[in-house]
Structure 1
């Protein structure tokens, strides 16, 4: 396996890779309706792509208010720290932009992953697109 790299993506130029990954993970695997996956926030978000070599294998986005979302890694690359690299890049960019709090809506099964990165659960469990979620918060340590 080549090393994993993460870069800030361009919603227009990198749209095919961003869509390919999110469609495979959220729409095909998790049965999220396409109308819930694609929203107007994509145009204003900072997007990230994770690569193995020159092949895009993961994505995430950061909204201007510090909300992190659409964290996704293709099935064959899960468990290989791709999500860790992605989330670290998103957190670093958020902090660089002065967003000292980051929030996200996490699938319940993924909460240990986010807790490793300093997030804590804020809410009771709720359904989003039919999948159990909780709200989580990370505050930059001073």
Structure 2
């Protein structure tokens, strides 16, 4: 993913909120690879996954035109909540740009917490990090 000019602030650095947008992109693709599409959850099951917690540890500045690598993995899966970890790196110089963690809760069409469908839970639990990597953002 390349940092676009519109994503930078007056200092020429990627604006901090864009990191979460980039993580959303990575999370959506990761779920798609697991066979779980947001669109299917929303349209087919009336479910939404709402971000209830986000932690970002900024380690280095991402600047305009930097090429970034964003890795996403499942850290924990419960009946109503899933937690993802992310690593944003700049391969050109090997720098860690940020580490991120988000937790999402399943909501029904009335915006009430609900359980994830069994098939979704199975696909996600299979892919969850089995060693529960240490991941401190603070």
> What TM-score does the superposition give when structure 1 sets the normalisation length?
0.32
- Quick check: which one's helix share is greater? 1
> What TM-score does the superposition give when structure 2 sets the normalisation length?
0.32
